[in-house]
Every structure is written in structure tokens, then in C-alpha cells.
Structure 1
Amino acid sequence: MTAGIKTITYPVKDLAGAKTLFNILLEAEPVMDEPYYAGYRVAGQDIGPEPHGHGKGMTGPLGHWHVDDIEASVKKLLEAGAETVQAIQDVGGGKLIASLKGADGNAIGLIQPACRKRGPGPLFRRSSGPGRPGAHASRIRTSIRPR
């Protein structure tokens, strides 16, 4: 099930310059401001200048569909002829993202919010990346332990 496109990321080469531009455009400061990413939330929409986007194959803004089960969504899209651009990865706190390309070359972004407990599956890629040392599947596990 999808909750629609709620996040748009923009590939940028200069994060500081992009933040200046988005601060003016959105009339807001980032709600998340890290060396590897800045995130804005305006009118229920998440906006993110992505400094590593070009290296991930992004050529322009990417809308991300929010889904309940990213593994199932990726599998269905691959079966329908899509190609993986960026494998499923944990970008922190259990939030999972992936991007694909449809038969016409259109980019498809997916996000599974962190609220859903998931473990590594066949399509899941453990990841640590710039600014995210140690981000991997174990970060998804809940902190509640059985008594």
C-alpha cells in the first residue's frame, strides 16, 4: 500500500549553497541538518537536497512514494519490468529507501518509514555511507526486549 509521494529529493553539488536556496524558497530552516543531507518539512511535504544524488545516478528531482513494505514493492516493480538504480538501504533509524527506473526511463523513488520493523531480506542491502557510519540492518531492531 502506498501513502503517495511525500518526499522529493534534489541532487546537488553544493549542499551549503542548496540550503541557502531552499531556506529562501521554502521560507524555512532544515528540520534535519547534517553534513550528508538536509531535510525540510513544509506543508506535509519532505524536501531534501541530496549532495550524493549525482553519484547515485540522479539527474533531477526524485519523487519518493511512501510504501508499507519496500521489499514487496521493489519485487513487484522489478517483475513489471523496472530496473534497480539504488538497492534498498537503511538511511538511518530504520528508514529504508530505494530507487528504480521504469521501462520508459522514468525514476521511481520508494521510502518505507522507520515505524515498521523489518529485517534484512533478499533485496535489502546493509549500508553505511557518507555521514552514516554503521548504519545497517541492526538499527531497525526494536529496543523493546521480551521479559
Structure 2
Amino acid sequence: MLRGLATVSFYATDVKAARDWYEELLGIEAYYAVPSAEAPAYVEFRFGDFQCELGIIDAKYAGHQVGGAPAGAIIHWHVDDLEATLARMVELGATVNEGIVERGNNTGFRTASLVDPFGNLIGIMNNPHYLQILQELQG
């Protein structure tokens, strides 16, 4: 059911400063910014052997409380059927943190997050990039 790491989402009240910090840390520039590079609400990096995604999102869009204390990231796992996986996880005792959200103007990127019975945030998503990389690896 969980197919593999798709996207790590971090939140920041100052996305531009966070982008700059991660550019320094990773040694690469963010390849994507919305609505603009000058005033981003979201930036994205792809890095590593499998070109994993790191997204930094303006904290005002978080589906959970951000700030005041250290917080973890929501790790999104690629799934083939977002609705069915969400329903199954709820059936198993998880609670919805953020329902299904379309990301990026009909690009096929859709996310949801849940809290497991132990208080951990879990992200699930449809991620065309994950499928593209998998297809390329399979030749």
C-alpha cells in the first residue's frame, strides 16, 4: 500500500529565508517557486539518488499547528489510490489531519495527512514524479 517516499514537507513563516538556508545546506538552488521566486509561498528542491522532493511551505497553509516548539515534517508516501488508502487508514484508527488537497493546477499531485493512533503525522499522496522515476528505473 505505501509505495515509497514521495515528498518531505517542511513549514516556515519565512519561506524565502528557509529556501536560502536549504540552498546553502544542499548546495543546489530550489528549482520551483510559487507564486514567484521573489515572494514564494512554496519552494521545492529535488536531490539525492532518487531525486527526492523537499518542499517548504508557508506556515499559514499548514494543516497543523506550526511554531512555538520544534516540529517534525510530514513525510508523504506515494500511494496509487489516495481515497482508498485514506479510508483504510481511518478504518485502522488513524484520524484525518488534512483531507485530500489538489496541489499544483491539475498536475496530478494530491495530498492528505493523518495522525496515527500514536500521535504521528503521516502524509500520503498521488505523486506523478515518483511514478516517473519508478518507470525509468524499471527501464
Whether TM exceeds 0.5 here: the answer is: yes
Query: Which range, TM-score by smaller chain?
Result: 0.7 to 0.9
Deviation string 1:22-55 (CA, Å, 9 cap, x unpaired) is 1011111112111221010001210011113674
Partner AA of 2:13 in structure 1? K
Equivalence for 1:75: 87
Distance in 1 (CA, whole Å) between partners of 2:12 and 2:2 is: 27
TM-score w.r.t. structure 1 length?
0.72
Q: Does 1:30 align with 2:44?
A: no
Distance in 2 (CA, whole Å) between partners of 1:88 and 1:55 is: 13
Equivalence for 1:112: 126
Equivalence for 1:45: 52
TM-score w.r.t. structure 2 length?
0.76
Distance in 2 (CA, whole Å) between partners of 1:53 and 1:26 is: 25
* Structure 1: gaps (5+ residues): 116-147
Distance in 2 (CA, whole Å) between partners of 1:42 and 1:90 is: 23
Distance in 1 (CA, whole Å) between partners of 2:59 and 2:110 is: 16
Identity rate, percent:
30
Say whether the 8 Å CA contact 1:10–1:53 is kept in structure 2: no
Partner AA of 1:61 in structure 2? A
Number of residues of Structure 1 aligned to a counterpart in Structure 2:
115
**Aligned partner of residue 103 in structure 1, secondary structure:** coil
Question: Alignment RMSD, CA only?
Answer: 1.7
Partner AA of 1:14 in structure 2? D
**Aligned partner of residue 59 in structure 2, secondary structure:** coil
* Structure 2: gaps (5+ residues): 35-39, 66-70, 130-139
Shift, 1:94, TM fit: 2.4
List structure 1 runs of 4+ shifted beyond 6 angstroms.
none
